[in-house]
Amino acid sequence: MTPASISIPARVPNARLRLQRRLRRGLALGAALVLAAGALFFYLHPIRVIETGIALRLRFAGVKSRYVMAEGYRIHYLEGGQGKPLLLIHGLGSRAEDWTPEIPAYIHAGFHVYAIDLLGCGRSPKPNIAYSITEQAEMVHAFLAALHLKDVDVAGWSMGGWVALKLTLLHPADVRRLVLMDAAGLLFHAPLTPATFEPRTIPQLHQLMALLTPNPPSMPRFMERHLLHRMAANFPVVSRTVQSMLTGQDLLDGQLEQIHVPVLILWGSEDALIPPSVGAAMHAQIRGSQFTLISGCGHLAPARCWRRTTKAVLSFLQ
């Protein structure tokens, strides 16, 4: 056979290979579109995305969102776990979900956790009241009564610690053991006004964050704008609460020696909002109390340093 007579078959593209290539390109394009849409949604609604992540984390931990009537108010709270009751009280302008890092650990340790939304906060109602510490403490008492809870372990953070102290003084049978985290309640000198907690510009937001935590995390500008917008919705309640605090009518100086339950006082060593000297003064007034500094942490220690605060709390409670 001569070379000229050799026939070479034409190379016909494999139909299956072409289909696979088209499928891969389609999947890549679809994934790119999904990512782009997700990025756009996050840019437009960053707080909603973060809150969805928080809700999923709590759901996986077995935490339920519930309501109960207390003092005529439909109070929202988070509940999860089985065992000894543990009530968590958040701080100024905060909500029950801010305990999210710690709640699963308390549940795993065998506690039945209740994290309450105080009046004017979270998903609880915002009535036309002064939002004084006494009003909040009485509402918490009514909340416990509605759930038939007595002799409860109580942890209060910041203003929530002040509410927990007032609850213990007014209704000692409600509280078995008390944990105070960077708690307010005693007189101390600081240039704080309602405006401190009502940032309306990004520089003012940065100033507030510097008070709350050392080396605050940086956020993209669009997230800071959304955070300012979200915080503004709570300004009326925050303003009334701070104004009530500044009257001094609920200060507890000279009263803490009346507390006779076991007390743990936890404080961020770098707290620039409520200095550790306030915690030391509480420790001096509450006989038998324990005082622990969380080194390197600020006012947001239960969130930013939650592993260490949770370990200290569980060591005390167990």
pLDDT tens per residue across all 318 residues of the chain: 455 555 555 454 577 787 778 878 777 777 777 777 766 666 666 778 888 899 899 999 999 999 999 999 999 999 999 999 999 999 999 999 999 999 999 999 999 999 999 999 999 999 999 999 999 999 999 999 999 999 999 999 999 999 999 999 999 999 999 999 999 999 998 777 778 899 999 999 999 999 999 988 888 898 889 899 989 999 999 999 999 998 999 999 999 999 999 999 999 999 999 999 999 999 999 999 999 999 999 999 999 999 999 999 999 998
Q: Evaluate whether 115 touches 101 at the Cβ level (below 8 Å).
A: no
| Phi, psi for residue 115 in degrees, rounded to 5 | -115, 115
Of residues 116, 112, 71, the one with CA closest to residue 91: 116
At 232 the pLDDT is 92
* Residues making up the chain, counted from first to last: 318
At 43 the pLDDT is 66
- Angle CA(206)–CA(211)–CA(215) in degrees, nearest 5? 70
Q: Evaluate whether 81 touches 72 at the Cβ level (below 8 Å).
A: no
Q: Evaluate whether 181 touches 309 at the Cβ level (below 8 Å).
A: yes
For 120, the 3-state DSSP assignment is coil
Confirm or reject CATH 3.40.50.1820 for domain 68-190+248-317, answering yes or no: yes
3-state helix, strand, coil in the chain (%, to 5): 50, 15, 35
Report residue 251 as tokens.
């200060």
> What is the C-alpha separation between 188 and 52, in angstroms, rounded?
38
At 1 the pLDDT is 47
All structural domains of the chain with their residue ranges = 68-190+248-317
* b/e burial code for range 120-140 (CB count within 10 A of at least 16 → b): bbbebeeeeeebbbbbbbbbb
At 16 the pLDDT is 78
Count Cβ atoms within 10 A of the Cβ of residue 302 and give its class: 0-12 exposed, 13-18 middle, 19 or more buried: buried
* b/e burial code for range 166-199 (CB count within 10 A of at least 16 → b): bbbbebeebbbbbbbbbbbbbeeeeeeeeebbbb
Q: pTM for the whole thing?
A: 0.88
Residues in Cβ contact with 56 at an 8 Å cutoff, skipping those fewer than 6 apart? none
